[in-house]
Structure 1
Amino acid sequence: WNYGNIASDGLKQVTEWGAIGTMQKEIKNHTKFGVNRNSMNVPGLWTVNISKSTTGAFTTSRNHNFLSFVTTFEPSPDWIIGVSDLDLCLPNCTWLDNYEELLHPIDAGTDMGVRYNVNDDLISFFC
């Protein structure tokens, strides 16, 4: 996903249902062309794990030095939190040691309405 672009079908599925299958296929397609080095999915914090944390690990290289991630949160109809294209390599060709950012909810624009139980209208908004 890229902040400011039209949400893909995969991002729509993640934002509205928490379903990752279509997005995984989209990522795999990019991997064929050398765009993506690896991907991972981390267990969600559902009711039984709500007070816990979750972690994940990934590898990077000088040719694959950008990080993007996205997660949904419920009961929102189409809101996400994430980072798009964070460059982990500094201008002096060293690696970023630490990074913190206060993340804000992003409306992916895949559902219209102001209530959580809106119908799926056919729209294409930017996220």
Structure 2
Amino acid sequence: MKNFTLLFLFLCFNPLLFSQTTAVYDVVFNSIWNEADHGTFPNNPHWSKLVGVNHNANITFLELGGIASQGIEDVAELGINDAFEAEVQTSITNGNAQQYIDGDQLATATGNIEVLGLQISEDYPLLTLVSMIAPSPDWMIAVNGVNLRASGTWENSLVIDLYVYDAGTDSGMNYSSPNADITPHVPITSLSGVAPFNTEKVGTLTITLQQVLGVNDIETTNHIQLFPNPATSVLQISTETTSLSEVVFYDVLGKKVKSYKNTSNSKELRIDINSLTTGVYLVKSIANDGSNNIQRLLVK
């Protein structure tokens, strides 16, 4: 128990550990989609899940004037994210992206979608996000490769006005137009000032820095990553090289408070942490090859 307590103090208070390598951001999409600015609403106006990726400059997932991929087409037309997630996973495998970002949907025209505690590595500082305005032919809001280190250091806060884009995959002219695929696809264009939209934004994206983590907060044996951190109810753990056999949680006094056995041999784990109270914990990840490491986790 003493060793764990000493390790916690070392991680928390050793100033040599805190070089700028990974930042934790909160991302909030605020929708102000309304009939006065954006045309008479369809039945059941809503937004699909806000999905995305953080990546490097070697890859572009969508851009104004570019042709939509199958993943972007599926998001913009159907609010279905499987193909886009597969594109992200391919980029992760190729070393060009860090993680797939799986945000919530919004069941109403106005309101917020929040992605909290998003860990962004310095190696993958570009943020791309997309959500379907629904129902619609192929309309979406999106940001492409927002650089969170444009000035060479982590941005403290960004507020981006959002306008609707046409994915160029369906020729429908209003919210309830029947399916009318465009073959071949045409470039992605802005619908600002194009009916049913006027030139007013449909929302904002606010990206706020919460903390910067040092090397020993995030670099781990076998490239193990915890997300989100801070966490609230669910902790995701991913590994690149070997799967984990067990994950053990200790409080700051070194007392074991929770353990999780990985019976599926998966490299992607989702662990319910609702039983943990607010505070700092040490997470010991034990790999199948016998190696292990300890990371700090903040539970809100």
TM over 0.5: yes
Distance 1:90 1:15 in 2: 28
> Which of residues 68, 75, 85 is equivalent to 1:24?
85
Which structure would you say has the larger RCO, counting Cα contacts within 8 Å and 6 or more residues apart?
1
SS in 2 for 1:80: strand
> Which of residues 172, 181, 185 is equivalent to 1:113?
172
Are 1:65 and 2:125 matched, yes or no?
A: yes
Aligned AA (1:88): L
Aligned AA (1:8): S
1:87-102 maps to which residues of 2 (within 5 A)?
A: 87-91=147-151, 93-102=152-161
SS in 2 for 1:5: coil
1:13-92 maps to which residues of 2 (within 5 A)?
A: 13-47=74-108, 52-57=111-116, 58-91=118-151
Q: What is the deviation of 1:90?
A: 3.2
Distance 1:63 1:102 in 2: 26
Tell me which protein shows more strand as a share of its residues.
2
Match of 1:104 in 2: 163
Distance 1:8 1:27 in 2: 12
Q: What is the deviation of 1:51?
A: 5.2
SS in 2 for 1:73: strand
SS in 2 for 1:59: strand
**Aligned pairs, how many?**
124
Distance 2:66 2:133 in 1: 20
SS in 2 for 1:10: helix
Distance 2:124 2:144 in 1: 14
Q: What is the deviation of 1:94?
A: 1.3
Residues 25-75 of structure 1: CA deviation (Å, up to 9, x unaligned): 11100110111101121121125xx55422113211221111010011112
Instruction: Give the TM-score of the pair, scaled to structure 2.
Output: 0.39
Aligned AA (1:101): I
Aligned AA (1:53): N
Aligned AA (1:103): L
Aligned AA (1:61): S
Q: CA RMSD in A?
A: 1.6
User: Are 2:137 and 2:172, in contact at CA under 8 Å, matched by a contact in 1?
Assistant: no
SS in 1 for 2:114: coil
Distance 1:113 1:65 in 2: 35
SS in 2 for 1:96: coil
- Unpaired runs of 5+ in structure 2? 1-60, 189-300
Aligned AA (1:86): V
Residues 75-103 of structure 1: CA deviation (Å, up to 9, x unaligned): 21101101000100032x21100101111
Q: What is the deviation of 1:9?
A: 0.6
SS in 1 for 2:87: helix
Aligned AA (2:77): E
